[in-house]
């Protein structure tokens, strides 16, 4: 009996060591690739991304079923050719985003940020960021949100972000160091409420990706015209702390790698809410999804169409959303 237990323990230890070894090898590979990317001129990196985008959409067909399903739902009147072009443009954007994250560490500094970034609506944004009130900034898998977070930290604004811990511990620690070096602090979504509450009570900035599926019990609203389940916590954080919610984006200026426009397209403030956006979790969730959709429609190729944002809602939810949409049209 004891021999069998010992063999089981040895096998489990061997499996853990093997997994750790694979994770470390992957981490080293990623670090080498990032180091190579950092040496490339932007025009060469752009050409490389075009070639890899062709591979992703052509021979490899990476996540093509999900991407096509999403594009057919959101753009039902588009031709197959138009959707194929958009799929290719999305992959070029995603790959270029990786290059830009690598380049930002070496090239983007306080002394030269204006060579790479332009601001829109900067007075309104700065007024809220500099206030002593808590702030909640939401964006989506859109534009280069990593560079946006990096620059926010570079400018001296400390932020807290909720994110799932990466499965690879070496990559997770490296990403944490990259983000934390400029004041972007990360907290695991499991048991994050006390840390978030303390951060907001201190007048901090909470930054969140708002376009992740929340399951059948989430807050269902229309996103880009299709029902989507949203995490209630995003609106709850803002309403419970009386924090303005800001819609932020960092979009690449068309045809210009490492050239971005940072903007805050709108703000919902519980202290100044004549249109009632902050009346409830549902109204605020509907508001930020509408605003994110407006931003995405300005640069549709910079959205992550390959992730499973839209799922089939429960029948009762689908009926309610359809009824609300009909009232809006009427």
In the predicted model, is pLDDT for residue 55 greater than 70? yes
The structure's pTM equals 0.91
State residue 274's pLDDT score: 95
More confident residue, 112 or 165: 112
Helix, coil or strand: residue 268: strand
Residues 117 and 151 sit within 8 Å (Cβ to Cβ): yes
Q: Which of 179-193, 235-249, 259-273 has the lowest mean pLDDT?
A: 179-193
Q: Which of 107-121, 163-177, 211-225 has the lowest mean pLDDT?
A: 163-177
State residue 79's pLDDT score: 97
State residue 197's pLDDT score: 93
State residue 192's pLDDT score: 87
State residue 326's pLDDT score: 74
* Local confidence band at 52 (pLDDT 50, 70, 90 cut-offs): very high
Instruction: Give me the chain's average pLDDT, please.
Output: 91
Among 81-90, 124-133, 144-153, 319-328, the range with the most confident prediction by mean pLDDT is 81-90
- Give percent above pLDDT 90 in the chain: 70
Long-range contacts of 297-300 (CB under 8 A, 24+ apart): 297/224, 298/251, 299/142, 299/143, 299/251, 299/252, 299/254, 300/86
Q: pLDDT tens digit string along 99-147?
A: 999 999 899 999 999 999 998 877 777 888 888 999 999 999 999 999 9
Pairwise CA distance, residues 268 & 252, whole Å: 25
State residue 175's pLDDT score: 85
Q: Which of 13-22, 38-47, 81-90, 197-206 has the lowest mean pLDDT?
A: 13-22
Instruction: Give the tokens for residue 246.
Output: 């800001």
State residue 236's pLDDT score: 96
153 CB-near residues (< 8 Å, 6+ apart): 159, 179, 181, 182, 183, 184
State residue 189's pLDDT score: 83
In the predicted model, is pLDDT for residue 11 greater than 80? no
State residue 227's pLDDT score: 95
State residue 7's pLDDT score: 66
Domain residue extents for the chain: 110-329
State residue 111's pLDDT score: 93
State residue 4's pLDDT score: 58
Instruction: Give the tokens for residue 324.
Output: 């609300």
Pairwise CA distance, residues 239 & 228, whole Å: 21
Tell me the mean pLDDT in the region 186-207.
91
Tell me the mean pLDDT in the region 167-186.
85
Q: How far is CA 88 from the centre of its chain?
A: 20
In the predicted model, is pLDDT for residue 2 greater than 60? no
More confident residue, 228 or 254: 228
201 CB-near residues (< 8 Å, 6+ apart): 134, 241
Tell me the mean pLDDT in the region 236-255.
94
Count of residues making up the chain: 330
């Amino acid at each position: 009996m004891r021999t069998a237990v010992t063999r089981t323990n040895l096998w489990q230890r061997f499996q853990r060591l093997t997994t750790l070894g694979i994770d470390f090898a992957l981490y080293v590979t990623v670090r080498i690739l990032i180091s190579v990317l950092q040496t490339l001129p932007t025009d060469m990196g752009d050409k490389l991304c075009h070639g890899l985008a062709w591979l992703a959409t052509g021979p490899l067909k990476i996540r093509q079923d999900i991407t096509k399903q999403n594009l057919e739902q959101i753009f039902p009147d588009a031709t197959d050719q138009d959707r194929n072009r958009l799929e290719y443009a999305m992959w070029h954007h995603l790959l270029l985003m990786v290059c830009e994250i690598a380049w930002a560490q070496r090239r983007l500094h306080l002394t030269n940020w204006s060579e790479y970034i332009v601001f829109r609506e900067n007075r309104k944004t700065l007024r809220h960021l500099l206030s002593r009130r808590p702030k909640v900034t939401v964006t989506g898998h859109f534009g280069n949100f990593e560079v946006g977070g990096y620059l926010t930290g570079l400018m001296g604004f400390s932020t807290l972000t909720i994110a799932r811990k990466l499965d690879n511990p070496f990559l997770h620690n490296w990403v944490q160091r990259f983000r934390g070096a400029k004041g972007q602090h990360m907290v695991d979504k499991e048991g994050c409420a006390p840390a978030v509450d303390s951060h907001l009570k201190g007048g901090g900035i909470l930054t969140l990706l708002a376009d992740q599926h929340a399951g059948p019990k989430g807050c269902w609203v229309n996103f880009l015209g299709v029902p989507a389940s949203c995490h209630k916590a995003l609106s709850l954080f803002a309403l419970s702390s009386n924090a303005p919610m800001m819609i932020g984006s960092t979009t690449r200026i068309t045809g210009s790698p490492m050239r971005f426009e940072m903007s805050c397209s709108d703000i919902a403030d519980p202290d100044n809410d004549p249109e009632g956006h902050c009346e409830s979790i549902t109204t605020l969730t509907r508001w930020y999804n509408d605003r994110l959709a407006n931003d995405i429609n300005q640069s549709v190729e910079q959205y992550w169409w390959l992730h499973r944002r839209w799922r089939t809602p429960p029948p009762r939810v689908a009926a309610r959303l359809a009824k609300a949409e009909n009232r809006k049209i009427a």
